[in-house]
């Protein structure tokens, strides 16, 4: 029963679906069903400009060209900053994953799909069991030489990801103690207690790649193209820095008949105008993710032949944190924090900055899990702090000793690009309206990440966080979570106690009640501010068939193995 309960919790979390497109693509082969019954979180509501597939079914062959934002920051799937997208797009094309959470029938309706991990379950609170799919082979390149993927590979890959520098896995690495192969088909993972994100990790967009140990370099790393010997849909064929990465069809891929295309090329294009021009010219087949609303609307108006799918972006909601631990900081005063919350006009962010293409949230998007509290479920006195009320914000600032406001700094990075840069600019303007003069400190991503990990920013910090299971995310407000997770430097014994109770609660209704109390306290105490989650878009040519967008740009191989070309 424990395994089922945990699975049902994550079904509504992974790659959330809030808005979507209409007619579904022609069905493509579906792997063995996931444990439990996958249920989408929301029905699609936004129709594409063209039907995503033709009626006649998949055709083999051809070369697919997709957009890639930049060169891989690192080749190693585990040793890369934040599990960066540019690296993930590369390794997910080559290595099989333990599981995925992408749509298989309808755009934006993601389901959990077993891959290498055929099934998994909690045996008890400290033992997690993975059953490994048989008959999967690595590519026939030395030193791996086409051998069969084993449970030893799964155990090695899982522990490697736990022991590497964190890639946004929350508190999971602290809980996992070991992973070992019991036999040819079984891996047993031992934890120090309930590790709520472990089931989520199986199908997270970090991809849980299964790596062959002997392909690593002398330092045990996968830091070069020659180490990319996987069992996934594509083989790694060529890398031209700053230009492209080329992949071929894996002839021994375990999903019979896939992928459909013979070649997949990722064109490296950092400039948005270049991407748009290349797409309009028909030289780019597919562009999904990180497509700002303004660009999407322009493409819809000027390139009506293109197909489009739109989903809620859930790569990670934007959050504003503050130093609550410094006695001389204004943010140590609850009245100042509440003033900030009431100074933020969340509806205006949706209507103006995001042009209506976003989902407003309190802590998490409503409906993703039974543990998530919708804005209208908060008690009225707490819900007030989510309402734009600049006059009350000024009153609170005056009560806190700042009748004329104060000056502070905000650390952010342009790496997140549009619309997050515009959101930061809007937040600065909104806070300025109540007297809080914010001086932006724009830094490159490496410096931002280092600052976030160490919690060394001066006053305010804005950025994205990978949102996994709410059970784990709520634990990040714990005083012992570490600055990588507890970015507002919280030390609240009441909150700690609630989180401790929630993590060990066995009864689902009890766990939900505690989760609601935690969210009540986070909003009431104004410990962090979540900005609206923008929709994201996928645009593709009329001849591209079988593509199903989930709203997360982090998947690559799993999306593209089912795409076929009608031209």
Read off the pLDDT of residues 234-244 as tens digits, 9 standing for 90 and up: 999 999 999 99
Give the 3-state DSSP-derived string for 90-149, with helices as H, strands as E and coil as C: HHHHHCCECEEEECCCCCCCCEEEECCEEEEEEEECCEEEEEECCCCECCCCCCCCCCEC
Superfamily of domain 318-530 in the CATH hierarchy: Dipeptide-binding Protein; Domain 3 (3.10.105.10)
Q: Quote the percentage of the chain above a pLDDT of 70.
A: 83
pLDDT over threshold 60, residue 233: yes
pLDDT over threshold 60, residue 21: no
Residues 6+ apart with CB under 8 A from 507: none
Q: What is the pLDDT of residues 383-429, one digit of tens each?
A: 999 999 999 999 999 999 999 999 999 999 998 888 889 999 999 99
Q: Which residue has the higher pLDDT, 505 or 106?
A: 106
Report residue 447 as tokens. 């410096």
Phi, psi of 70 (to 5 degrees): -165, 175
SS3 content of the chain, % helix, strand, coil (to 5): 30, 20, 50
103-107, 143-147, 312-316: least confident range: 312-316
DSSP code of residue 352: I
* Residue pair 523/529 in contact by the 8 Å Cβ criterion: no
Residues 6+ apart with CB under 8 A from 474: 371, 499, 502, 515, 518, 519
11-20, 163-172, 487-496: least confident range: 11-20
pLDDT over threshold 70, residue 24: no
The per-residue pLDDT for 164 is 81
pLDDT over threshold 50, residue 76: yes
* Residue pair 441/435 in contact by the 8 Å Cβ criterion: no
Q: Confidence class of residue 320 from pLDDT cuts 50, 70 and 90?
A: very high
* Residue pair 469/9 in contact by the 8 Å Cβ criterion: yes
Q: Which residue has 């066995």 as its token pair?
A: 506
What is the overall mean pLDDT for the chain?
A: 84
Report residue 444 as tokens. 């490159």
* Residue pair 469/492 in contact by the 8 Å Cβ criterion: no
| b (16+ CB within 10 A) / e for 401-426 | ebeebeebebbbbebbebbbbbbbeb
pLDDT over threshold 70, residue 111: yes
Residues 6+ apart with CB under 8 A from 56: none
Q: Which residue has the higher pLDDT, 418 or 542?
A: 542
Q: What is the pLDDT of residues 162-210, one digit of tens each?
A: 888 755 565 677 778 999 999 999 999 998 876 655 666 666 656 589 9
| b (16+ CB within 10 A) / e for 532-566 | bbbbbbbbbbeebbbbbbbbbbbbbbbbbbbbbbe
Top-ranked range on mean pLDDT: pick from 134-143, 205-214, 218-227: 134-143
The per-residue pLDDT for 47 is 36
State whether residue 65 is helix, strand or coil: strand
CATH architecture of 2-313+535-565: 3-Layer(aba) Sandwich (3.40)
Verify cis geometry, omega within 30 degrees of 0, for the bond prior to 244.
Answer: no
pLDDT over threshold 90, residue 550: no
DSSP code of residue 164: S
* Residue pair 87/77 in contact by the 8 Å Cβ criterion: yes
The whole-angstrom separation of Cα 149 and Cα 210 is: 9
Cα 144 from chain centroid (whole Å): 31
The whole-angstrom separation of Cα 276 and Cα 303 is: 10
Note the maximum CA span of the chain: 72
Angle at 358 between CA 355 and CA 359, to 5 degrees: 145
User: Distances in Å between the alpha carbon of 181 and those of 185, 212, 271?
Assistant: 8, 15, 46
pLDDT over threshold 80, residue 148: yes
pLDDT over threshold 60, residue 30: no
The length of the chain in residues reads 567
pLDDT over threshold 60, residue 51: no
Residues 6+ apart with CB under 8 A from 103: 109, 110, 111, 548, 549, 550
Burial class (CB in 10 A: 0-12, 13-18, 19+), 91: buried
Angle at 183 between CA 178 and CA 185, to 5 degrees: 95
pLDDT over threshold 80, residue 472: no
- Which phi-psi region, left, alpha or beta, contains residue 165 (left: φ > 0; alpha: ψ -120 to 50)? beta
Q: What is the pLDDT of residues 291-301, one digit of tens each?
A: 888 889 999 99
What are the sequence ranges of the domains in the chain? Answer: 2-313+535-565, 318-530
The model's pTM is 0.75
Sign of CA dihedral 105, 106, 111, 113: positive
């Amino acid at each position: 029963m424990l395994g089922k309960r945990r699975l049902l919790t994550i079904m509504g979390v992974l790659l959330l679906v809030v808005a979507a497109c209409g007619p579904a693509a022609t069905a493509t082969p579906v792997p063995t069903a996931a444990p439990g019954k996958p249920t989408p979180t929301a029905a699609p509501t936004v129709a594409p400009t063209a039907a995503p597939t033709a009626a006649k079914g998949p055709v083999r062959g051809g070369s697919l060209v997709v957009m890639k934002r930049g060169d891989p920051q690192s080749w190693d799937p585990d040793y890369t900053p934040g599990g960066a997208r540019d690296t993930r797009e590369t390794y997910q094309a080559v290595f099989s994953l333990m599981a995925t959470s992408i749509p298989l029938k309808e755009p934006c309706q993601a389901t959990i799909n077993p891959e290498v991990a055929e099934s998994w379950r909690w045996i008890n609170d400290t033992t997690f069991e993975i059953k490994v799919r048989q008959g999967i082979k690595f590519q026939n390149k030395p030193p791996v030489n086409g051998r069969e993927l084993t449970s030893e590979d799964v155990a090695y890959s899982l522990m490697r990801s736990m022991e590497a520098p964190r890639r946004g896995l929350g508190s999971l690495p602290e809980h996992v103690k070991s992973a070992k192969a019991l036999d040819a088909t079984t891996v047993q993972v031992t934890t120090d207690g309930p590790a709520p994100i472990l089931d989520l990790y199986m199908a997270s967009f970090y991809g849980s790649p299964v790596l062959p140990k002997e392909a690593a370099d002398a330092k045990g790393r996968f830091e070069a193209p020659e180490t990319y010997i996987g069992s996934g849909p594509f083989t790694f064929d060529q890398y031209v820095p700053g230009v492209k990465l080329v992949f071929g069809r894996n002839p021994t891929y375990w999903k019979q008949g896939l992928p459909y295309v013979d070649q997949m090329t990722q064109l490296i294009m950092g400039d948005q105008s270049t991407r748009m021009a290349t797409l309009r010219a028909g030289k780019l087949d597919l562009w999904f993710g990180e497509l700002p609303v303004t660009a999407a609307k322009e493409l819809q108006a000027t390139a009506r032949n293109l197909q489009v799918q739109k989903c809620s972006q859930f790569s990670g909601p934007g959050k504003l944190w503050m130093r609550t631990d410094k006695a001389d900081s204004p943010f140590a005063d609850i009245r100042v924090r509440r003033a900030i919350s009431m100074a933020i006009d969340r509806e205006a962010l949706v209507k103006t900055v995001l042009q209506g293409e976003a989902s407003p949230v309190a802590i998490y998007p409503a409906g993703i899990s039974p543990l998530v509290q919708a804005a209208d479920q908060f008690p009225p006195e707490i819900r007030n702090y989510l309402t734009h009320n600049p006059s009350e914000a000024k009153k609170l600032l005056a009560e806190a000793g700042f009748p004329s406001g104060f000056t502070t700094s905000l650390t952010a990075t342009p790496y997140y690009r549009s619309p997050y840069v515009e959101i930061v600019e809007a937040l600065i303007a909104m806070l300025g309206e109540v007297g809080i003069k914010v001086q932006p400190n724009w830094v490159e991503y490496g410096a931002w990440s280092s600052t976030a990990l160490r919690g060394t920013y001066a006053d305010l910090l804005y950025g994205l966080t990978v949102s996994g299971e709410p059970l784990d995310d709520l634990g990040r407000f714990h005083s012992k979570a570490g600055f990588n997770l507890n970015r507002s430097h919280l030390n609240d014994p009441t909150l700690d106690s609630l989180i401790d109770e929630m993590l060990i609660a066995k009864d689902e209704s009890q766990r939900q009640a505690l989760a609601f109390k935690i969210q009540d306290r986070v909003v009431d105490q104004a410990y962090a501010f979540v900005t609206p989650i923008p929709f994201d878009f996928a645009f593709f040519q009329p001849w591209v068939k079988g593509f199903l967008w989930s709203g997360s740009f982090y998947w690559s191989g799993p999306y593209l193995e089912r795409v076929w070309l009608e031209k």
